[in-house]
Every structure is written in C-alpha cells, then in structure tokens.
Structure 1
Amino acid sequence: MDLPVWKAPPRPEAVEEAWLNRLFLQARSFTRWQARPVPSHLLKRLYDLARMGPTAANSGPARFVFVTSEAGKARLLPHLSSTNRPKAAEAPVCAIVGYDRDFVRNLPKLFPHSPSAPSWFADPSVAEESALKNSTLQTAYLILAARALDLDAGPLSGFDRAGIDAEFFAGTNITTNLLVNIGFGRADGQHPRLPRLDFEEACDVV
C-alpha cells in the first residue's frame, strides 16, 4: 500500500528552558494529591498526546483504564501494595496501563504499508517482549503528556498484576504493566529531589 509522501513541517526552535523545567528539570513524581478532579476532556487530550510517541511498527500496544470513581477505586485498591494504596486512593485518577498481547491485529490499520508486519511478531515470546517494551515507552509518554498539560504524575509498580488483570481485563488478551497516578500534586511532604548519576557514571560515547 502506497502512502502519501510525508513532508516535514518547518523545524521549530528548541523549546524554552521553562518547558524543560516543566517536563524534566523541575518536574516531580507526586504521592500526595489535591482534592481537585481531572475533567474527562483532559483525559482524552492526555491520551491524544501520549499516543503520538513512537512504538515498534507503530504498534501502540498499550491500553489504558482511567480509574476515577469510588467504585473503580474500590475494585483497584485491594490489589495495590500497602504503601501504594493510599497514594492511589487520594489521586483523582489512577491510570492502569496494560498491554494487548494481540496487538498485531491492529497492524493492518497502524502499519498499512507493510502487509508482512504481523509475521514479525508470530513468535509469542517476541510479541510479548515487544508489547511489554512498547507499552512501557507509552507509559513514559503518558507522564510527559500529563506534565505538558499542567498535570502531575506518580508512577507505581507495587501491585498484584494477576488481581488487577482479573478485575479489569478478564476475558481479554490485555495484561497490566504499570500504574500512573494523575492529578494536581501537593507539594507538602515532598522530599528533596534525589540525586541522579552523572554523565560519566552512566554513559559511554564510542
């Protein structure tokens, strides 16, 4: 299938320092949250931004459940670790990021110029690894999109995957990868930023 030739738009200038601060340098992972809801239209905008990040073969295997209601929280919280439960309980939104093991069925739509693309993932172990890696990438895009929309985020990894899968993804080929609390963070009780490794400690140039 031939696609229209893509023409690059004029390259914008590098983002201002204020945006680097918002997205990276001053952004924090929050554990406490204001009692301020996140409107549904903002969640749609959040997804519309996050979905644009690159994934292998444009596969976009991540699937998102935005848990916002008391009923949804009642289903989710029992499956979280004791330290993560109060964080998710207070957050206006807890996003369950899963990945679809059957993501290849969407490749004719998402990667139409390569009809053979589904065969690249014919090995179930290859498909599983790709879905996990790329949904993790999409989780990072979700966090950056939240920060760009003046929201805060706090990723969580302490939970019972099987329990969440049974509660939210029963009867599907979707399994849970990560959770991300989203809302408007509270600065009180926030610890000072922890150190990071220097370039020389973490990087090689060869």
Structure 2
Amino acid sequence: MMTVLNDATLDQIFRTARSYNGYTDAPVSESDLHAIWELMKWGPTSANQLPGRFVWCTSDAAKAKLAECCSAQNAPKVLNAPVTVIIGMDRDFHNYLPELFPHVDAKAWFDGNAELRAASAFRNSTLQGAYFIIAARALGFDTGPMSGFDAGKVDAAFFADTPSVTTNFISTLGHGDPATIFDRLPRPAFEKFNSIA
C-alpha cells in the first residue's frame, strides 16, 4: 500500500517549488541529466508510447543556437541557464511499440493514422515534460518551462535529421536563483474549476 509523502517532499515538488528565470553558478552534470531521465522515464504514458524526445542543451553553442529561436524575453534565460531542455515529440513513436508495449500489436493501432499519432505524441510528450519537471524537483533542481519560441526554427535547428520529431516546449534547468522569481501567483480553490459527477 502506498503511503503519503511527507510535507517537506510535497513542498519541494509542488507547494513551494517555483518556475525560475535565472540560476546560480552551481553546475548541472551529465550524470545529473541521466539521473533525471532514469526517474522520469517511469512516468506513465498511453500504451507506454514514450513519444518524448529530449535535447539537453549544455554547451554554449547549443544554447546560443536555441536562443536564436526564442523571444527577446526568453533568449537570455536560455543563454544563462546551466542547461535548457527541448521537449520534442516523435509522431513516429509507434515504430517503437513492439519493444515498449510487446504484449499486443499496438503499432497496428497507429499505422496509417497520422492524425491519431500526432494527437497521441502531443498528449504523451506533454506528460513526459511534466514528469521531467517533477523528477528534476525531486532530485533538488529547479526548472523554468516556457513557450515564447519559434517552434519551426527549433525544429530546423535541432530536429532536421529526424523530421518526425517536432518541438513541444522548452525548459531551463539548474539551481534557481531566488532573486529571479516573481511573487507567488494565486491558485484557485477546488470549487472554482472542478466538479464531481
């Protein structure tokens, strides 16, 4: 039986966690990136589709290339963060289903149906992006997920060799600088946006 996580853990992942606009000089190593992946990969996706494709921009060259695709407001965030992650989505994810979901012929569900593959890739890569944020926070890192970029330019710059992959969103990653966050924004009470049927 599952147990409730303690308040300190829940605070770190949700209640006191923030989206950061800037980071300290504390490094993020390649082994840290692997640790985040090894945790987040266990998050559920429909039929274990795992359509997310991640580019971890760690070099100055990669971050500069990505910054050129971003809005004027977001480009400095990308350049100054230790890492910026491109969360992509592979519309041909179904080709991996014989390996990832082997007990039925799940690939056949998507063969010849580009519209279904696109919808599934978007939905499930978004889930994987959320798992990335949760895993990073659980391991002591901070993130800054964002829109504010030209997806077509990002695709051309980073996914030209894999045309079935397109960009979903991007996120900075590091150890957040508290001076770069805004005041906490409100969250509504349950009754405002929820109903029980």
Q: TM-score range by the shorter chain?
A: over 0.9
Total equivalences in the alignment = 195
In structure 2, what is the Cα distance between the partners aligned to 1:158 and 1:37?
Answer: 25
Of the three residues 116, 128, 133, the one matched with 1:126 is 116
1:65 aligned to 2:55? yes
- Unpaired runs of 5+ residues, structure 1, are 1-10
Would you say the 8 A contact 2:20–2:180 is kept in 1? no
In structure 1, what is the Cα distance between the partners aligned to 2:128 and 2:94?
Answer: 17
Offset, 1:190: 2.1
In structure 1, what is the Cα distance between the partners aligned to 2:156 and 2:63?
Answer: 15
Q: Which residue of the partner structure matches residue 130 of structure 2?
A: 140
Letter matched to residue 177 of structure 1 = N
Cα distance change, pair 189–104 in 1 and its aligned pair in 2 (3 A): closer
In structure 2, what is the Cα distance between the partners aligned to 1:74 and 1:14?
Answer: 42
CA RMSD of aligned residues (A): 0.9
In structure 1, what is the Cα distance between the partners aligned to 2:144 and 2:32?
Answer: 17
Alignment map for 1:46-195 (pairs within 5 Å): 46-115=36-105, 117-122=106-111, 123-172=113-162, 173-195=164-186
Letter matched to residue 104 of structure 2 = S
Would you say the 8 A contact 2:46–2:124 is kept in 1? yes
**Deviations 1:75-109, CA, capped at 9 Å, x for gaps:** 11100011111111111000001011110110000
In structure 1, what is the Cα distance between the partners aligned to 2:69 and 2:181?
Answer: 25
In structure 2, what is the Cα distance between the partners aligned to 1:129 and 1:17?
Answer: 36
Q: Which runs of 4+ in 1 moved over 6 A?
A: none
Would you say the 8 A contact 2:19–2:181 is kept in 1? no
Identity level (%):
44
In structure 2, what is the Cα distance between the partners aligned to 1:202 and 1:57?
Answer: 29
- Unpaired runs of 5+ residues, structure 2, are none
Highest Rg: 1 or 2?
1
